[in-house]
Amino acid sequence: MRNRTFPLLIAIFLCGLSFSSAEEVRTFTNSQGKSIKATVLSVEGETTKIKLETGKEFTIPLSSLSPADQEYLKAWTPGAPVPAPPISTEGSVTLETINESIGQELFKDSTLWESPPEEVASRLGWRRESKTEISESYRAYPKEDYRFLGARPYSAAMYGEGEKVSGISIVFANKGDSFGSRGSGEEHFIKGKPVPGGMEGLRVIMENDAELISTALTEKLGEPVRQKFGEGESRVNVNRWDWGGHSFLLSNVEDEYVSLAIQTPEFADNRGNSKRVSDATIRERVRGFVESRNNGDVVISNIPMVDQGPKGYCVPATAERCMRFLGIPADMYLLAMAGETSAGGGTSVEILLSNIGSDIRRKGRSFEIESGELKMRDVQKSIDDGIPIIWAVYSTTEFNKTASARTEERQQEGNWDSYVGKVKQAADAPILTPDRNKGHVVIIMGYNKATNEIAFSDSWGERYLERWITIPEAEQVSQKRFYVIDL
């Protein structure tokens, strides 16, 4: 196995990147409803000097900003804490009425972009999925009776950076869940008519969901604006509604999915084109996440977790985790569609990469698939550089029992030298048998040379963030395929 370039760079409803700073940042909205994030440097008379996240400084008249921003700036003093700005609304479209249309308490007091993700998730009933130094996420696989803008979501994800919400992505009817119209009861009959099976039924369900969402938003916010959103081959047509410093972006991709993204107006104005972070910046960051432990373990920390849920979405879930580790958030459901995931799950890594290949090349990079034995020297080289390895494995019952028992034993207090002897003895006689019906992918994210073990991570929730197995045992169930991210 050799290291190859494998960047996972796809722009399907990506959340904007954040920039950390010791200065307080506030979201300002101008009189036309467009928003920017900036730091206040000074206020003099009827003007204010601000600094954007890019570092550029501007002096602008107070009169060009929203009434709420003007009021804030008139009371501004250097060094004062920045309160969360209230949601700016006009006319009869109040916070209460928009929440009523949504059917959930999404908004409260301030904009999403100034709200702690944990608080918003608590109101929505979405559980925490992951929290690292880079980002955090909350995800729900709602029950059949859960509604958002009148339609049933199958996956709802919220992302946060810097203790603030950075974006929401919700997937409604889609080919994986609604195919064959055998989902929830209401999908058998729409508007009093039976839903046909197969792709024809999927189209009916998708059209119905898109109509429900569009009608709910249009009744409150008026007719949408049609625009493009996304980069390269991932670009889609969306209907856009703006309200209170938020953009609602509805897409209906033929025979694939209906999705709603909630983003900042400035990100929507930029049509979802994400800022490219330099390789040097990412390389420095990921190397800083390599953790060396007293017992000889070397692991990459801060790889975000994604819970693939009830579907066989290990490939897109793993892809999302790697993308977010590189500072490029994405949604596994939409990645699954790009990878031509079959109904009920099951995605080929090769197909997923092939379908987004032009986007990868547009970023000036390429990817190759490697095959061969799992060797400690290759694992060590990647992990020491902060580079995770995507590993295709046969996830058998025996393999998981062995890994779980080994991981639990490692966590128990005792004589480490004794453990090293036991694990070496156990690895001398591997008993694991591959099963081609148990295909799976995981992330190799650590190693221990003394025990000849590797640490791997399944996309099954935070309980499975770090598990251990010896290389001889791992070789028994390896598919001999690896996908190495390199910068």
348 and 265 in a single domain? The answer is: no
CATH of the domain at 58: 2.30.30.700
Q: Domain tally for the chain?
A: 3
The per-residue pLDDT for 162 is: 86
158 and 198 share one domain: yes
305, 265, 303, 319: which is closest to 138 by C-alpha? 305
The pLDDT value recorded for residue 134 is 85
On whether residue 1 sits in a domain, the answer given is: no
Give the model's pLDDT for residue 429: 66
Q: Assign 10 a pLDDT band (cuts: 50, 70, 90).
A: very low
Q: What is the pLDDT of residue 29?
A: 80
Residue 14 lies in a domain: no
What angle (nearest 5°) sits at the alpha carbon of residue 234, between those of residues 320 and 156? 45
Q: What is the dihedral of CA 468, 386, 9, 2, to 10 degrees?
A: -80
User: Binning pLDDT at 50, 70 and 90, where does residue 80 land?
Assistant: low
- pLDDT tens figures, 244-297: 999 999 999 998 899 999 999 988 998 887 666 677 888 888 999 999 999 999
Whether residue 6 is contained in a domain is answered as no
Short-list 346, 361, 352, 344, CA closest to 322: 352
The per-residue pLDDT for range 380-418, each reduced to its tens digit, is 999 999 999 999 999 999 999 999 988 988 887 678 888
| 329 and 419 together in one domain | yes
* Closest by CA position to 90, among listed 44, 29, 156: 29
* Lookup: tokens for 108: 């409260």
Q: Are residues 337 and 193 in the same domain?
A: no
Residue 355: the pLDDT is 65
In tens, the pLDDT along 184-199 reads 444 567 776 778 877 8
Q: Quick one: average pLDDT of 27-37?
A: 75
**Together in a domain, 303 and 404:** yes
In this structure, the answer to whether residues 308 and 387 fall within a common structural domain is yes
Within a domain: 80: no
435 in the same domain as 338: yes
pLDDT of 439 above 80: yes
131-154 pLDDT, tens digit each: 999 889 999 999 989 999 999 999
Question: In the prediction, which pLDDT does 2 show?
Answer: 43
Domain that holds residue 40: 26-74
The residue among 269, 301, 316 that closes a domain is 269
Q: Do 241 and 286 belong to one domain?
A: no
pTM above the 0.95 mark? no
Tell whether 342 and 451 lie within a shared domain: yes
Does the structure show a pLDDT above 60 at 11? Answer: no
In whole angstroms, give the CA distance from residue 120 to residue 99.
Answer: 13
Average pLDDT, the chain: 83
What pLDDT is recorded for position 288?
95
Q: Is residue 396 part of a domain?
A: yes
Beta bridge pairs of residue 127 = 139
